Chain A
Amino acid sequence: MTALAPDPVEEGRRPNIPSADVQLPAVANYTQVTDEILNTLKLTKAWFAGLAFSVFCLAIGGTAWMYQIYMGLGVAGYHPPVMWGVYIITFVFWVGIGHAGTLISAILYLFRAGFRTTIYRCAEAMTVFAVMTAGLFPILHLGRPWKFFWLIPYPNWRLIWPQFKSPLVWDVFAILTYLTVSATFLFIGLIPDLAVLRDRETNPVRKRIYGVLSFGWRNSDREWRHFARAYLFLAAFSTPLVLSVHSVVSFDFAMADVPGWHTTIFPPYFVAGAIFSGIGMVFTIIIPIRRWFKLKHYVTLNHLDAAAKLCLFTSLVVGCAYLTEFFIAWYSGSEVEQSYFMNRVFGQWWWAAWIMLTCNMILPMLLFSQKLRRNTTFLFTLSIFINLGMWYERFVIIVPSLSHEYEPWQWAPYAPSFVDWAILVGSFGWFSMWFLLFVKQLPVLAIAEIKEIVPPKFAHRVSRRSLDGHGETPGSVEPAEAH
């Protein structure tokens, strides 16, 4: 068996090994991959309509924001004690969605889960834009948004530093780190594809831009080696970030002595919920894309099936966390906790709690059926419910807690105003605007990696590794044994 031991250097840049269920039987060769994926970049009327609608939504949100700056935060429905509402809910919602990208691109890469190949570019772009959207909300929530930079610690003439013990400051670091790393990761993965774009481009200006962005990629052995190294390193580097970012977000709540917030399960529970919501959003995005861009034979049902299993798994984790929370609230023997949780399920916002439980825990159980996992209409519908359910999960965490603290005189109602809803709509507009701009500028599927899962019997027997001079096709282990 010692003969099996590959050269350690060669091993380090080994790509994911595609198994049979990951491969793309309907794709004949590499040219087809390049042509079909680059075809998606052609501008269409529907795309312009979508972009216009996104910008319109964004304008609604922007107008509402201006109105809020002029009138004050009171127009957004914030009255003591409920000082956190739709803005923080939506902030957590978008940060959560940002988690699936790194999970799919980094963790699944490390675990060699081949089904990520066709969806990871989409998920990564989604991550970057979701974090960009989330980052707006703490600023929206400021009474004087032009002073947001006070959150950043730097030596200043005011001689004032932020409160380092506050998780809100940790958030600034966590989110900015995450944005930096995920954007870098997205960009590194794009380099070989940018080179493809450059080679196909006829417009000299655009060709030049693509050339610079691809760092003059020439497809050489050495470049692939460095590329794979960098990719592996970034994957390992961003994996702990998946845990850390949403844990820090959960600390915003768990550190405060508020019933329903201060509970030790919050960090892993938030992370699981974030991944769950992120996968939900991936379905919401990738299913229309594969239909409209005619990429059904790339994003195959096998890939969606595997992603749906992951979705089911995270849903179960989240469901167990809900049950644990409820159980411990009862078990604690603390009247405050018990009364809070009763209020959560049967109080003013009982419907929100039931939306949360139905969408996040009960409906995803349907994914136990393989038939449904392979039904894209079902997956898309379910993903909408998951998005809704995860938004309401954060609603259930934030609003009932603040409005139902320790003493009855602290209890107060809360109602989101039209400003909140307008800004929520605006955030979707902002997100989809970026995403739509992205899909027509850069390939939404990773061209270079997809070539690795083209079935070898049709493809040229050239792969990333054979370019390195090791003459192996992905998936074939036998030649190594023969050495």
Chain B
Amino acid sequence: MTRTMSVGLGAAIVGAILMLVGVILEPRQALTSYLFAYATVLTIVLGALILVMLSYVSGAAWFTAFSDLALAIVGALPALAVLALPILIGVKKIYPWATIATLPVETRGVVERKEAWLNVPFFVVRALIYLAVWTIVGELVRRRWFDMERARAAESSDLRPRASGLSAGGLIVVGLALTFASFDWLMSLDPAWYSTVYGVYVFAGGFLAMLALVAVMAPRSIGPEQTSAIGKLLLTFSIFWAYIAFSQYLIIWIADVPSEVTWYLSRARGSWGVIAIVVAIGRFVIPFVLLLSRARKRNARALAAIGALLLAMHVLDVYWLVMPALHPAGVQPSWLDAAALLAVTGGAVAGAAWRQGRRPLAHVSTRSGEVAS
């Protein structure tokens, strides 16, 4: 058992105990906090899976230095599949549509019309499908990578074509599952509200946070050329996230349709509004300005600092997506938010570390000479 794994396992156990206490004391808060923590971690891990597949499809050479790291993150998927259980069990506590009678009269009619999609058994079946898709594709991609490693060690033929075929197909199903899961798990927290770009927003945020995590964890042996590749991607996806977030806001704001604008009303006023501004600045303005500098993009330490900021902003952003459903009036931090983060992050880290075993995270970087730098 590696040290990372024991730390993760310890955190998971402490978090789980706290969560158990929380579920007894304030079940709705505890489970919603858990959903927030779960969505935060899951979107990062799925971002890593999408990055791996994208790089297989595009044959991106710069990625080689980070592939072990990204695949190690993907290794958390089976653990995350198990960690989804509390959400599936707590559906009725978390989602207002599961108990239509408690909804305000204005929205009840609309939500009743959605019952064909928003009902507990179908929700659980869909969730199981999403989890199965991610886990299976993640495992196949990992296995294919290790095969390729072995083939390369034995200097036999390259398996990349097969990897790219798998990845092309994988991207579609993983992307669709991510889109629908974000509709199901996050968007339906406000059952009357809908936004077609929501899945893209969730993907953009998770992908950016995953890149930030890679920047934080990147082994120091990586040369400035690979570092700057991550820097450029951070800049690109920071802009992409801002673009999606802004256009969704602009379209909803300018049309001012009551059924749509309510979602932003609770999220743009009072203390939630402060969080929204903090996220906009911390996730776009600051990284954008800092990452314009060429020297900074090549400086691993600076990138790690920016990555840490972006990770914090990801947590805050998911918090802002999830929690106003429970506390529309304003931010109400709870100790359970921290406990849930501890439990899910710990569990995911332990799962990934267990899968990783003693394999180093960056042994490929020693070969970075073969990377088209």
A313 in the interface (beta carbon within 8 A):
yes
A262 to chain B: which residues have CB within 8 Å? 251, 255, 257
Name the CB-closest residue of A to B259. Answer: A334
Residue in B111, B250, B295, B366 with the greatest tally of chain A CB atoms within 10 Å = B250
Q: Are A247 and B247 in contact (CB under 8 A)?
A: yes
Q: Within 8 Å of chain A (Cβ to Cβ): is B325? A: no
Within 8 A of B (CB), among A253-305: 254-257, 262-268
Question: Is A17 located at the chain interface by the 8 A CB criterion?
Answer: yes
Please, which residue of chain B has its CB at the minimum distance from the CB of A325?
A: B196
Give Cα distance in the complex from A6 to B225, angstroms.
Answer: 8
Which residue from B172, B197, B369 sits with its C-beta under 8 Å from A265? B197
Q: Which residues of B contact A243 (CB under 8 A)?
A: 240, 243
B113 touches A333 (CB 8 A): yes
User: Nearest Cβ distance between residue B142 and chain A, in whole angstroms?
Assistant: 23
CB nearest to B195 among chain A residues: A264
- Contacts A5-B223, A267-B247 given: A368-B168 contact, CB under 8 Å? yes
- Alpha-carbon distance between A290 and B179 when the two chains are bound, in angstroms: 40
Chain B residues with CB under 8 Å of A240's CB are: 239
Distance in Å: Cβ of A414 to nearest Cβ of chain B: 24
Give min CB distance, A220 to chain B, whole Å.
Answer: 24
A1 within 8 A of B: yes
A332 within 8 Å of B (CB atoms) = yes
Q: How large is the interface on A (under 10, 10 to 19, 20 to 34, 35 or more residues)?
A: 35 or more
Question: How far is A162 from B242 in the complex, measured between Cα atoms in Å?
Answer: 28
Asked whether any CB of chain B lies closer than 8 Å to the CB of A8, the reply is: yes
* Contacts A243-B243, A255-B254; A8 near B197 (Cβ below 8 A): no
What residues on A are CB-neighbors of B365 within 8 Å? 1
A331 contact set on B, CB distance < 8 A: 114, 117, 183, 194
Secondary structure at chain A's binding surface: helix, strand, loop or mixed? helix
Are B373's CB and A257's CB within 8 A? no
**CB closest residue in chain A, given B298:** A8
> What string of 1s and 0s marks CB contacts (under 8 Å) between B172-207 and chain A?
100110011001000000001011111110000000
Interchain Cβ contacts within 8 Å, total number: 117
Contact: B369 with A4, CB < 8 Å?
yes
What residues of chain A lie closer than 8 Å to B221, measured between beta carbons?
1
Over the window 311-340 of chain A, the binary record of Cβ atoms lying under 8 Å from chain B Cβ atoms (1 yes, 0 no) is 011001000100111011011111000000
What is the CB-to-nearest-CB distance from B164 to chain A, in angstroms, rounded to a whole number?
9
CB distance from B322 to the nearest CB of A (A): 19
Whether A8 touches B369, Cβ cut-off 8 Å, given contacts A263-B196, A333-B114, is no
B243 adjacent to A264 (CB under 8 Å):
no
1/0 per residue, CB under 8 A from A, across B209-243: the answer is 00000000000011111000000100000011001
A332 and B257 CA atoms in complex are apart in Å by 14
Query: What is the CA–CA distance of A264 and B252 in the complex, to the nearest angstrom?
Result: 7
Q: A1-B221, A333-B113 are in contact. Are A255 and B251 (CB under 8 A)?
A: yes
A481 within 8 A of B: yes
Q: Is A112 an interface residue (CB 8 A)?
A: yes
Quick check: is A19 within 8 A (CB to CB) of the other chain? yes
Docked Cα-Cα span, A243 to B204, in Å, equals 15
Which B-chain residue is minimally distant from A481 (CB atoms)? B369
Task: Given the known inter-chain contacts A267-B243, A268-B200, A332-B194, please indicate yes or no for A477 contacting B176, CB distance below 8 A.
Answer: no
CA A254 to CA B247, docked complex, whole Å: 10
Taken together as a complex, chains A and B put the C-alpha atoms of A478 and B371 apart, in Å, by: 11
Q: A320, B175: Cβ atoms under 8 Å?
A: yes
Chain A residues with CB below 8 A from B298, complex form: 8
In contact, A265 and B257 (Cβ under 8 angstroms): no
Would you list which residues of chain A between 3 and 47 have a CB under 8 Å from chain B? 4-6, 8, 11-12, 17, 19
Q: Which residues of A contact B162 (CB under 8 A)?
A: none
8 closest A-B pairs by beta carbon, nearest first, are A265-B196, A333-B113, A264-B197, A267-B247, A265-B197, A264-B195, A333-B110, A264-B248
Interchain residue pairs with CB less than 8 A apart (13) = A247-B247, A251-B251, A254-B251, A255-B251, A255-B254, A264-B247, A265-B200, A320-B175, A324-B196, A328-B194, A328-B196, A334-B110, A481-B369
> Interface on B for A, CB 8 Å cutoff?
57-58, 60-61, 110-111, 113-114, 117, 168, 171-172, 175-176, 179-180, 183, 192, 194-200, 221-225, 232, 239-240, 243-244, 247-248, 250-252, 254-255, 257, 259, 294-295, 298, 365-366, 368-370, 372-373
Residues of A at the B interface (CB closer than 8 Å) are: 1-2, 4-6, 8, 11-12, 17, 19, 110-113, 165, 240, 243, 247, 251, 254-257, 262-268, 309, 312-313, 316, 320, 323-325, 327-328, 330-334, 368, 477-478, 480-481
